[in-house]
Amino acid sequence: MIIRKKEHWFRMLFIWQGSVLPTVLPRLILLFALSICIVWLRGTIFSFKIPLNPVPLTLFGFVLALFLGFRNNVSYDRFWEGRKLWGALLNDTRSLARQALTLPNNTADHKLSINFVQLLIAFTYALKHQLRGTDALPDLKDRLTEAQFQRVAPARYKPIILMKLMAEWVKKAKANHEIDSIQQARFDENLDKLSDIAGGCERIISTPIPYSYRVLLHRTVYLYCFLLPFGLVDSLQWFTPFIVVFIAYTFVAFEAIADEIEQPFGTEANDLALNAMCRMIESTLLELAGEKLPETEASNSGIID
C-alpha cells in the first residue's frame, strides 16, 4: 500500500505511482485510436452510418455510473472490513500481551511471558502470509522456538496452530497455579477474538463478488466506451477522441479500482499495508515486554507494503 503525505492539488494531477492509470492506459490508447478511425470515417462502417446521438448515451451513462458507484461501495466495504479486522487484531494482541506479562503469579520467570508475546507476533505474520498465499516460514523461524517451529511448519493453517500453542501456554499456566480460573477465562475470551479475526479475514478472501455480476458490469462499461465515439462524432468532430478518452478513463478507472480493493490483503498499491501493520504490532508488543524494538525503514514520500 502507498502511504503519502497530503499532496498539492496540482501535483496530484501528475501522480503516476499508486494510481490505476498504468493499468488502464493500454485500453485508453486503444479507445483513442478507435475514436480517430471513427472520426476519419465520419461514423460510417461499410457505407452504413451508425445512427447514434448523445442523448441516449447520456441517459445510459448516468445509469452506468450508478451501477459503478454500487460496485465501488461493495468493494470498499470489503476493504474497510479488512482494515477493521486488522485494527481489532492490534487491540486484542495488546490485551493478550498485557495479560501474559502481568497476570501470572510467577513474574520472576519473565522468559515464559516473552515466549507468549513471540507467539502473538508470529500469529500476525502467519495470518498475513495465510491471506496472501505466501511462505510464512522465514518470518516464523526467527520468532519461535525450535520445538514450536517444528509443530507449525508443516501445518496448512499456521495461524490456527499458533492459537493452539497459545491456548496450551494458558493451560500450563493454570495447571501451575500461576493464573486462576477467572484469568484463564479472560485469556480464552481474547483468544476467541483472534479466531474471529482470522475467520473474518478468510471470509473476505474466500467469498469474492459474484463473477456473473462482475462480467456483466465489465461488458457494459466497454460496450458503452466503444459506442461513445459514434454518438459524439457528428457534434465534436476531431475533439471526439479526447472527450471519449476522458469519459472512458472515469468509467474504466472506477472498475479497475473496484477490482483492486475487492481483495484488500494483496500486494497491489492500494491494498492494505499488512507488512507495516505486522511491524507495528511487533513493535508495540515488544515495547510492552520491555524488549529491544526492531529497526524499521520508512520513506518520506510514501511506502509500499
Is-contact 43 234, C-beta < 8 A? yes
pLDDT band at 127 (very low <50, low <70, confident <90, very high): very high
Describe the crossing of helices 158-175 and 181-206 by its angle, rounded to 10 degrees: 180
79 occurs within a structural domain: yes
Residue pLDDT, tens place only, 161-174: 999 999 999 999 99
Residue 301 confidence class, pLDDT cut points 50, 70, 90: very low
Domain membership flag for residue 76: yes
When comparing pLDDT for 13 and 156, which is higher?
A: 156
**303/25 Cα distance (integer angstroms):** 24
Q: Is residue 3 part of a domain?
A: no
Which residues, 6+ apart, have CB-to-CB distance to 164 below 8 Å? none
Structural domain containing residue 281: 25-288
pLDDT of residue 299: 39
CB distance 294 to 125 below 8 Å: no
Instruction: For residue 282, tell me if it sits in a domain.
Output: yes
For the chain, percent of residues with pLDDT exceeding 70: 91
> Residue 302: inside a domain, yes or no?
no
Question: Considering the entire predicted model, what is its pTM?
Answer: 0.86
Find cell 451508425 and name the residue: 50
14-42 confidence digits (pLDDT tens): 777 778 888 899 999 999 999 999 888 87
Domain count along the chain: 1
pLDDT higher than threshold 50 for residue 297: no
pLDDT top residue among 296 and 282: 282
Q: What pLDDT, on a 0 to 100 scale, did the predictor assign at position 2?
A: 55
Q: Please tell me the least confidently modeled range out of 16-20, 125-129, 165-169, 197-201.
A: 16-20
Rg (CA), the chain: 27
pLDDT surpassing 90 at residue 294: no
- 18 domain residue, yes or no: no
pLDDT of 296 reads: 59
What is the pLDDT at residue 163? 96
| 206 within some domain | yes
pLDDT, mean over the chain:
87
Q: Does the pLDDT value for residue 284 go beyond 60?
A: yes
Would 304 be classed as within a structural domain?
no
pLDDT band at 213 (very low <50, low <70, confident <90, very high): confident
Whats the size of the chain, residue-wise? 305
pLDDT at 283 over 60: yes
